[in-house]
Structure 1
Amino acid sequence: MNLYPPSDADSAAQSNPFSPPFSPDRPDKPEEACGVFGVFAPGEDVAKLTYFGLFALQHRGQESAGIATFEGDQVHLHKEMGLVSQVFSETILGEMPGDLAVGHTRYSTTGSSRVVNAQPAVTKTCLGTLALAHNGNLVNTIQLREDLLRSNYNLVTTTDSELIALAIAEEISTGKGWLEGAISAFNRCQGAFSLVIGTPAGMMGVRDPNGIRPLVIGTLPQHSSTDPIRYVLSSETCGLDIIGAEFLREVEPGELVWINEEGLASFHWAQQPKPKLCIFEMIYFARPDSVMDDESLYSYRMRIGRRLASESPVEADLVIAVPDSGIPAAIGFSQASGIPYAEGLIKNRYVGRTFIQPTQSMRESGIRMKLNPLKDVLNGKRVVIVDDSIVRGTTSRKIVKALREAGATEVHMRISSPPVTHPCFYGIDTDNQDQLIAATNSVTEIAAQIGVDSLSYLSWAGMLSETHSNPDHFCSACFTGDYPVPVPEPVKRSKLKLEKVAVLEKV
C-alpha cells in the first residue's frame, strides 16, 4: 500500500520509492498491510458498526484507523494515527451520521507512518465524493503515478490507494458513471487490491483478478420481513461476527459488487480471473476464528501442525508454541506426535509499538518484553517449539536462547510453513531478500544460527495439500519466487537480490 517516499538516510529508497530502509528493530514477522470494512444499512448507526468491525480487524493493522460516513452527498471523515480504540470515541462516532460507512485500519512500514497516509482515501469527482479503503499493493504504481501527474492531479499522500481513487475520478471525468468509471480504473491497476469504496450513490466491494487479498460479504439481521437487506463488507468473517452479521459469500476474484437501496448487483469486470489467494492468510495473517474454505483457519492450522509432525518427527518431552500464531499448529503437532502440549512461553499481549526505548540491559534480554519462559515447565525437558514462520531469524534466536536459559536440555524448532525465500510485492511487508535468512542459508545453517538442536519446515506440497481448495488457487510466491502478477523490474530490484535467489524444491 505504500510508495515509501525517498529518504535522505537511505540510498535505496532514494533510487526506488517502493523500498523502505531496513531497520533491525522491525518485527521479525511478515506484517499484514490493512483491514477494510464497509456497511450499507439505512437506519442503523453505521459509524459504530464500522468501529466494531475495524476493532475485530485490528490484527491486520495497528498504526492508523479511519472511517468515512455518507449522509446523502455529505461525507463525514475521521482518521488518525493509533489503534481503533484510540482514534475513535463515542463523541466522535456520534458526529458521523449516514446510511453508508467505509472503514480502514492500517499497518505501515518505516518512513511512511504518517497521518496523511491514513485511510479511507477521500477524493472529489464530478459525480460527488468517494472514500476508498484498500488492502493490497499495486505493482505498476510508478506508471500510474506518472499518468496522473501528466493529467495534472495533485498527489497529497505516498500511497497507491490514493492513485486508485484518483484514477476512478479521472475516468469519471470523461463522462462515465460510477461503475463504468471504476471498472475502467481497475483495468489500469496491476497487483493486489481488495477495496471497499463509498459513494453518494452506493458502496462497492472489489477484488483484483487474482483475489490475492480477501474480502467477504455479510448481511445484517432484518427487523421484519419487509425490511431491505443491509449489507456488510469485511476483510475477514471475524468482522462480520462481531456485529452479528451473517456470512453470505466471498467477493470473487475480478468481481465488483454494487450495493445500494436496490440491493446487491454483481459485475465480473476482469476477463480472465485466476484465483491466487495469499497462502499466508491461511497460515498466519487472518484471525484463527475467521472462515476460509468453509472452515475456521484454526482447523487448517491444526491440520498443518499434524502434517508437520508426520513429515518431521522428533523425540521430545514437550511441545510448546510461539504464541499466539503458533498455537493451533503446535496443538496439531502434539496430537499427531503424542508428545504432550504445554504452555512454555507467556505472552504480554499489551506490548505494542512504544516510543520509550528500553535500557541496554533490557535490549540484551530481548524477547522477554513480549515472551517470558516458564522455567518450572521447561527445566530439564527436551522441547519442540512450533512457530508459523522464520523471516530474519532474530526473534527465533532470542526465543531459543531464553528457552535454554530456562533449563531446556534440547530445543527442536518446527515451522508450519516452508522457508520464506522471497519478498512480497502484493501487500505484505517483508524484508528485502538479502534480509531473509532462508534466501541465502540452508536449513542446517539456519539451525546453527538460531541455536537449535534441529530445525524442520513444513513442505510446500504439505502446506497446500492440507487446504480444501485447489492448490493452484493460492499465491505462495514468498516461498517459491513464482509471482502470479508480473512485477516491473524497477520494483523487483528494490527488494529482490537476483544473484542470491534461493529456490525451493516443490516437494
Structure 2
Amino acid sequence: MTMQSTPKSEDWFDLEADRLHEECGVFGVFGHPEAAALTALGLHALQHRGQEAAGIVSFDNQRFHAERRLGLVGDHFSDARVISRLPGRQSIGHNRYSTTGETILRNVQPLFAELDSGGFAVAHNGNLTNAQTLRKELVRAGAICQSTSDTEVILHLVAQSRRPRMIDRFVNALREIEGAYALVALTDGKLIGARDPLGIRPLILGELDGCHILTSETCALDIIGAKYVRDIDNGEVVVISEAGVQSLRPFPPQKMRPCIFEFVYFARPDSIVQGKSVYEVRKQMGVELARESLPEADVIVPVPDSGVPAAIGFSQASGIPFELGIIRNHYVGRTFIQPTQGVRELGVRMKHSANRSQIEGKRIVLVDDSLVRGTTSVKIVKMMRDAGAKEVHFRLACPPITHSDFYGIDTPEREKLLAATHTLEQMREFIGADSLAFLSVGGLYRAMGYEGRDDLRPQFTDHCFTGDYPTLLTDMIGETPRQLSLIAEAS
C-alpha cells in the first residue's frame, strides 16, 4: 500500500491547503434598472464559492460593459464608481476559484467576445471533461485562445457555429461539451441559463419586482429580497427576454444526479438545494454519524465553521453536550506567512484556538465535514491534546474521499487523498486520534432522505466516495465522438 508522503512545510501549516476548495458562483439579472448593483450583491452572497476573482458584464441595449478584478467582491464592487461603469438593465457575474487555468486577469469571468451576430458574454460554474481535447481541435482550426480557462472553449464553439440565431449557436456548443456546468450568458437583449444534462452543478431561477434572476444558490436571492421560483432542470436551457422565460430541452431526458458535495460542503447552510435545506441535511448527517459510530465521550466539539451543523445533529442524537471547544478567528487572511519554521508552526493557532475550559480533562468528539489530506486534522487533534483533552475521537460527517473530482471541485491528486492511500487504522494513527470513523455512503443517503444508494441508478453524483464517474472523462482516457468522426472523415 502506498503511504502518503509528508506535505511541504508551508502546506502543513496552511489550514486552507487541506480543504476542498469551492467551485465558482454565477449570477444573472434581466430587466432591473440596477442590474449591476444587484449582481454585485448576489456575488457577495456567493463569495464562499470562490474568492480568487470576480467579474460583472452588463448590457445597456447598445453596448456591453465589463469590470473584472482579482480578489474579493467587496474589494472592488462595493465602490459606486465601479458599478457606475456597468450601466444597463441586464448583467451577469461570476466568482472564481480556479479549478482550471491560472489565477490571472485574463482568466477572470465572465468572458466576452464580439461575434458576427452580436456581443456574447458567458460565465461558468463547473468543469468540462473534454475541454483540453476541444481546445486542441479549435486551435488547429485557427482559433486564438486568450485564456487558459475551459470556459473559453464554449465561447469559441458558439463563434464557430453556422446557425443564424445566437441561441441555436449556444445549444450547438452545449452539444459538443462534456462534464458539469451551470452557465449564465448575456447576448443582445437576452439572458440565457443552462444546466448540464445530469444537473451536476446547480442553477436557480428567481424573481424580483417582475425581473428575472439566475443564480447558483438561493442565499443569493435572499440577500436582494428576491423570491425563489424554481430550480433549472438538468439539461434545460432557459432564455429570458422581454417576452418572458422560454424553456428549451435540447438533450434526451436523463435521471438527475446533482453533486452531493453541495450538501456536504459547498452550499451555504442557509441555502435550499433541490428542495432540501442544506442546514437540516447537514444536521441529519451528524445524526446518522452518531447512530453509526458513537464513542463514550463527555462533549461534542465541532471543527468550525463547516463541522457545526453535523456536530449539532451528533449531539442531539447522542445526548452528549455540544460545546464550542474550538474558537475560530474570522479576521485572519490566507496569505500570512511567518519567516521561520518555528513561528510558522504557531500559524494554526491564528485561525483556530482551543477553548480550554471546555476541553481540559474531558473525552471529546471532534466533528468535521470531511477529511482530505489530513494535515489540518493532525494540527487540530494536537491542539486538543495540548489543551488537556483526556481523549480525542474524530468523526467525519461524510464518507472517505478516495477519488479525485473532475467536475469543478479542486481536489488534490488521488495519491494525496489520505483515504485513498491509508487504511482506517493508518489514518487514525496519522492524525493522532484515539478513534476515527466516517459516515457511511448509506448513512449519507439516509441523511438525504433516501433508504440508501441506488447502485443501479444513483441519485447523486458521488464519485469522490465511490469512484462512480457519471460522464465521459475524455481528456483523461480517450477520444471524443467528434474526434472519431473527424478521423473517419479524413480517412
The TM-score with structure 2 as length reference comes to 0.91
Residue 109 of structure 1 deviates from its aligned partner by: 5.5
Residue 82 of structure 1 corresponds to 71
| Structure 2 unaligned residues grouped into runs of 5+ | 1-9, 479-491
**More off after superposition, 146-155 vs 399-408:** 146-155
- Map 1:117-156 to 2 at 5 A: 117-156=107-146
Q: In the alignment, is the contact (CA less than 8 A) between 1:73 and 1:128 conserved in 2?
A: no
SS at match of 1:282: helix
User: Does residue 96 of the first structure (1) align with residue 86 of the second (2)?
Assistant: yes
Cα distance in 2, alignment partners of residues 420 and 175 from structure 1? 43
Cα distance in 1, alignment partners of residues 285 and 239 from structure 2? 37
**More off after superposition, 143-152 vs 296-305:** 143-152
RMSD: 1.7
| Structure 1 unaligned residues grouped into runs of 5+ | 1-21, 222-228, 493-507
Residue 170 of structure 2 corresponds to 182
Cα distance in 2, alignment partners of residues 272 and 191 from structure 1? 16
User: Does residue 277 of the first structure (1) align with residue 274 of the second (2)?
Assistant: no
SS at match of 2:179: coil
Cα distance in 1, alignment partners of residues 368 and 337 from structure 2? 28
User: Does residue 197 of the first structure (1) align with residue 164 of the second (2)?
Assistant: no
Identity of aligned residues (%): 47
Residue 400 of structure 1 corresponds to 381
Cα distance in 1, alignment partners of residues 73 and 350 from structure 2? 23
- Map 1:304-315 to 2 at 5 A: 304-315=285-296
| 1:27-60 CA distance string (max 9 Å, x none) | 2111112000000024x20010000000000000
Query: What stretches of structure 1 move > 6 A for 4+ residues in a row?
Result: none
Q: In the alignment, is the contact (CA less than 8 A) between 1:76 and 1:96 conserved in 2?
A: yes
Residue 111 of structure 1 deviates from its aligned partner by: 7.3
SS at match of 2:317: helix
Q: In structure 2, do the counterparts of structure 1 residues 146 and 195 end up closer, same or farther at CA, with 3 Å as the change threshold? A: same
Q: In structure 2, do the counterparts of structure 1 residues 369 and 433 end up closer, same or farther at CA, with 3 Å as the change threshold? A: same
Instruction: Give the counterpart of 2:396 among 415, 424, 442.
Output: 415
- Map 1:98-117 to 2 at 5 A: 98-108=88-98, 112-117=102-107
Q: In structure 2, do the counterparts of structure 1 residues 121 and 56 end up closer, same or farther at CA, with 3 Å as the change threshold? A: same
Cα distance in 1, alignment partners of residues 336 and 393 from structure 2? 35
| 1:338-360 CA distance string (max 9 Å, x none) | 00000011111122332654542
- Map 1:46-445 to 2 at 5 A: 46-88=35-77, 89-108=79-98, 112-171=102-161, 174-221=162-209, 229-354=210-335, 356-357=337-338, 359-445=340-426
Q: In the alignment, is the contact (CA less than 8 A) between 1:139 and 1:491 conserved in 2?
A: no
Residue 269 of structure 1 deviates from its aligned partner by: 1.3
Cα distance in 2, alignment partners of residues 448 and 74 from structure 1? 61
Residue 447 of structure 1 corresponds to 428
Q: In the alignment, is the contact (CA less than 8 A) between 2:99 and 2:127 conserved in 1?
A: no
Q: In the alignment, is the contact (CA less than 8 A) between 1:391 and 1:436 conserved in 2?
A: yes
Residue 505 of structure 1 corresponds to none
Cα distance in 1, alignment partners of residues 231 and 310 from structure 2? 26
Q: In the alignment, is the contact (CA less than 8 A) between 1:67 and 1:104 conserved in 2?
A: yes
Letter in 1 for 2:198: N
SS at match of 2:157: helix
Cα distance in 2, alignment partners of residues 253 and 33 from structure 1? 18
Q: In the alignment, is the contact (CA less than 8 A) between 2:100 and 2:150 conserved in 1?
A: no
Cα distance in 1, alignment partners of residues 35 and 207 from structure 2? 13
Residue 297 of structure 1 deviates from its aligned partner by: 0.5
Cα distance in 2, alignment partners of residues 179 and 358 from structure 1? 54
Cα distance in 1, alignment partners of residues 101 and 337 from structure 2? 18
SS at match of 2:148: coil
Letter in 2 for 1:70: F
Letter in 1 for 2:473: V
Residue 366 of structure 1 deviates from its aligned partner by: 4.1
Residue 14 of structure 1 corresponds to none
User: Does residue 481 of the first structure (1) align with residue 462 of the second (2)?
Assistant: no
| 1:305-358 CA distance string (max 9 Å, x none) | 001000101110100101111000000000000000000111111223326545
Letter in 2 for 1:81: L
Q: In the alignment, is the contact (CA less than 8 A) between 1:366 and 1:398 conserved in 2?
A: no
Q: In the alignment, is the contact (CA less than 8 A) between 1:79 and 1:87 conserved in 2?
A: no
| 1:449-497 CA distance string (max 9 Å, x none) | 00000001000011012214695221000001110012136369xxxxx
